[in-house]
Amino acid sequence: MKAKAIFTIALLAFVAASVATLVFKETGARGPAAAEPATTGAGTKLIAYYLHGKVRCISCNDIEKNAQEAVEQGFADDLEAGRIEWRVVDYDQPGNEHLATDFQLAAPCVVLVTLQDGRQTSWKSLPEVWELVGDKPAFRSFIEKSIREQLSGGASSTASQDASPRVAGVALEPSRERMPRLLDLGAGKCIPCKAMAPILEELRGTFRDRFEVVFLDVWENPDAADEYKVSTIPTQIFFDAEGRERFRHEGFFSREEILAKWRELGIEFPGQDGSST
């Protein structure tokens, strides 16, 4: 009997020890209860947008690339932490049309938007990027400086409007004299388009009795891009006197190249400087 009692006590002790060991292992493996992530407000966040339309030029693409590099290389830690975000948005896409109006855009542009606890508090457009696109160090310095000022809520964090001059459009009307026509589709802020402007003006005056020269700003008149199926600017379209398209070219086209193409299409320029056949 005594031996049976001792055995029972030993068995109970073993069971108790086993249960204690299991409990220890379970709680020890977990350790203290994990703390919940700190629940702080979203704080200040900056979204760097590149907003563009469906019709783009070489400069437009370069601005996007250079701005993205400036943000990613200059603010890598902020991007990783979510304090800064880079976005590229086509404001001609359905549902995005309001962006061009909201940010008062006359052309593709970098726009910095500040959010405080998820709510937009200020924004600034940077039309200066069009003037700096050819100088990459200056471009990057300008982007970085603008972002820091926007994050700090400095004087430059208020909305700015683009007051840069734009190339005047010429209304596209039927030719009264049934003349060949050179149609240039571009935009006032597109740098290759701006380089075309004096060439078009000179051709319009010098060869007014040989062919018409018409310019359309597709950023001001987006329907023109659809009508002429243009996705890259500048685009030059050569029409004959009957209004039939004979040739089109994308990108900068020099005076000499334009006149050479007209000669190839059968238009002669007797007595004109640099254009006689």
For the annotated catalytic residues, the residue numbers are 190, 193
88 residue type, one letter: V
The one-character DSSP state at 170 is -
How far lies 66's CA from each of 78, 100, 159, 162, 183, in Å? 18, 21, 22, 20, 31
Strand-pair partners of 213: 182
The DSSP symbol for 103 reads: T
Q: How many C-beta atoms lie closer than 10 Å to residue 6's C-beta? A: 10
Q: What is the DSSP letter of 248?
A: E
Helix (H, G, I), strand (E, B) or coil at 51: strand
